[in-house]
Amino acid sequence: MRDLKNKIEKYHLHKAHPEKLQFEVYDLNTYRKRSGDMAAVAHSHSYYQIIWFFEAGGEHIVDFTTYPIEKNTVLFISKDHIHAFDKNLEVNGYLIHFNESFFMHSDVDIFLKYNIFSAVENPCYIIDDDTAVIANSYIDLIKKELSTKGAFGYEDSIRFSLKSLLINLERVHRKSENNNIQFNSHYELQFAKYKELVEENYQKGLSVSDYSALLNISSKTLTTITKSVVGKSASGIISERIILEAKRLLRFTSLQIGEIAFRIGFDDASYFVKYFKRFVGSPPKIYREKWYQN
């Protein structure tokens, strides 16, 4: 059995100093040498992270997938996602951290938050040379603004440059997936709010009617929204989030099955085992053993 802890380490950005700019950009090589082995152990963040690797080589783990690093690989790590660098410290690129509070809450910000950073199936993009040049120009603008702290429009300039960077990177993904950017629907905004509520409350055992009450809509309307936007029921979204957390704890911690059940809101461990098997196809113990054998 691997040497695992009973929790997944979670890191924060300026948590003790909310007055600070909730944004940082780092040289990746410097960051990796400073973080050492800590960054190679599976961990999560309470903020958003963009990792841009300039060169091919090595790999990076995001939740349950290991991604080989190619030239100009960009990874979007959402808050609470589990990830880990490999042992190689000789990497070049950029690392960007920011909290959601760094963005003003507008439709555009919800788009950035719930599309770019919610691509669980594909958080890894390869950008072409032209996009890399554009991305570099935005990061150069950001770095220049960071050196002028306190100047007029300082934070806004960084915020707008980051938004422009994210939109250009997302265009690459949308083009490769043959998707059109559409974010004008009231349903999509409501869905974004629902996803945020689920993220905040999935461990509390809330029902679809509880969530619909928080959104001031009916349960029927909520299910219509989720089916329209992602083709899934409202209850299915809740179950997916619970199962995701269970899988993370089974793979990345040494917690007993009963402890995991309690952490994600189950009073009865045996019911959790049945619930997990219904959605995954195998009981938690067998699922965990599969990872131990790898």
Instruction: Kindly report, residue by residue over 49-64, the tens digit of the pLDDT.
Output: 999 999 999 999 998 8
Specify the pairing of strand 9-11 against strand 83-85: unpaired
pLDDT at 91 over 90: yes
**CATH dotted code for 186-292:** 1.10.10.60
**Does the pLDDT of residue 143 top 50, yes or no?**
yes
Using DSSP's 3-state secondary structure scheme, residue 254 falls into coil
> Which of 19-28, 164-173, 190-199, 262-271 shows the lowest per-residue confidence on average (mean pLDDT)?
164-173
The predicted-structure confidence for 9-18, as pLDDT tens digits, reads as follows 888 888 888 8
Classified as helix, coil or strand, 207 is: coil
Alpha carbon distances (Å) from 7 to 82, 248, 271: 12, 10, 22
Query: What average pLDDT does the chain have?
Result: 87
In tens, the pLDDT along 170-216 reads 887 777 655 544 544 678 788 888 988 998 999 999 999 999 999 99
Q: Quick one: pLDDT at residue 25?
A: 95
CATH 1.10.287 fits 9-176, yes or no: no
Q: What is the pLDDT of residue 181?
A: 44
Residue-wise burial string across 171-189, b where 16 or more C-beta atoms lie within 10 A, e elsewhere: ebbbeeeeeeeeeeeeebb
Chain segment 268-283, per-residue pLDDT in tens: 999 999 999 999 999 9
Q: If DSSP states are collapsed to H, E and C, what string results for 1-45?
A: CCCCCCCCEEECCCCCCCCCCCEEEEEHHHHHHHHHHHHHCCEEE
Alpha-carbon distance 282 to 118, whole Å? 26
Tokens in use for 24?
């940082």
Strand residue runs (E) in 80-169: 83-85, 93-98, 124-126
Residue spans of the domains in the chain: they are 9-176, 186-292
**CA distance linking residue 102 with residue 291, whole number of Å:** 37
The yes-or-no answer to whether 9-176 and 186-292 have a common fold is no
The model's pLDDT over 228-256, given as tens digits with 9 standing for 90+, comes to 888 899 999 999 999 999 999 999 998 99
Q: Which residues pair with 27 in a beta bridge?
A: 94
> Is there a contact between 247 and 263 (Cβ–Cβ < 8 Å)?
no
Q: Record the tokens describing residue 255, joined without a space.
A: 């917690």
User: Token pair of 188, please?
Assistant: 């999509």
Residue 101: pLDDT band with limits 50, 70, 90:
confident
pLDDT at 1: 40
CB 41 within 8 A of CB 27: no
What percentage of the chain has pLDDT greater than the value 90?
57
